[in-house]
Amino acid sequence: EAQVTQNPRYLITVTGKKLTVTCSQNMNHEYMSWYRQDPGLGLRQIYYSMNVEVTDKGDVPEGYKVSRKEKRNFPLILESPSPNQTSLYFCASSLTGLSNEKLFFGSGTQLSVL
Amino acid sequence: AQSVTQPDIHITVSEGASLELRCNYSYGATPYLFWYVQSPGQGLQLLLKYFSGDTLVQGIKGFEAEFKRSQSSFNLRKPSVHWSDAAEYFCAVGATDSWGKFQFGAGTQVVVTP
């Protein structure tokens, strides 16, 4: 089954403790992206990747890092999480990243930073 | 810069009644336009998209949307709502002059009453 898999689904952590949220897709997609969803703000793009070793900032990249060493994986790294990063995070992918392509989303990761 | 506005944060509709969700965009040209639905605890799923051509587009689950260039709008409609349509709906735009970047609206929460 074609899917985008995020782990974990829920994560509670404390300020400053480094964490990684994993994202993997099995569709051989070139494009992957991370979003955060906050009430009243919708989804905001954090980072995206057009291919292996090619990443770029979205609208809200501060406090986040990403890497794309393999085509299928696109982890989101919070080196020193802060409470304002408490949010629902989604990973998405598409075939090439063209702006007319459908995005495939993971089920989300609810992060709470205390 | 492109932007998307969903004026209605929350809509309550009776089962069997019609539904219309509003979306307005701001962009220099006609962008690529999408509607996604997010069911509770799930990722986003594409309902429909518009690139060009016929301004009335049909999607899944009985939804349709109409693009109106003069109003910069892309409103989503369904003639008869089912209880399973209770969800959050997001309008999104993809830029025609760049790859990889998408803007989402703040979302409209739809509640369906018996």
Residue of B nearest to A38 (CA): B106
- Chain B CB within 8 Å of residue A43 CB: yes
* pLDDT surpassing 80 at residue B15: yes
State whether A97 and B41 contact (CB < 8 Å). no
Rg (CA), chain B: 14
- Chain B CB within 8 Å of residue A31 CB: yes
pLDDT in tens, A24-37: 999 999 999 999 99
User: What Cα–Cα distance (Å) separates residue A93 from each residue in A9, A13, A71, B15?
Assistant: 18, 26, 11, 34
Residue A45: its chain B contacts at CB < 8 A? Answer: 101-103
Per 3-state DSSP, chain B is made up of helix, strand and coil in percentages (nearest 5) of 10, 50, 40
Residue of B nearest to A97 (CA): B100
Model confidence at A114, pLDDT cuts 50, 70, 90, reads: very high
Beta bridge partners of B50: B33
Q: What is residue B27's predicted lDDT score, i.e. its pLDDT?
A: 82
Q: What is residue B6's predicted lDDT score, i.e. its pLDDT?
A: 96
Q: Measured between CA atoms, how close is B51 to chain A, in angstroms?
A: 7
B31 in Cβ contact with B52 (< 8 Å): no
User: Which residues, 6 or more positions from B53, have their beta carbon under 8 angstroms from its beta carbon?
Assistant: none
Beta bridge partners of B102: B94
Model confidence at B99, pLDDT cuts 50, 70, 90, reads: confident
- Chain B CB within 8 Å of residue A44 CB: yes
A105 in Cβ contact with A30 (< 8 Å): no
> For strand B56-58 and strand B64-68, is the pairing parallel, antiparallel, or unpaired?
antiparallel
Residue B100: its chain A contacts at CB < 8 A? Answer: 31, 33, 48, 50, 56, 97, 99
DSSP A73: B
A7 in Cβ contact with A75 (< 8 Å): no
Model confidence at B21, pLDDT cuts 50, 70, 90, reads: very high
* pLDDT surpassing 90 at residue A83: yes
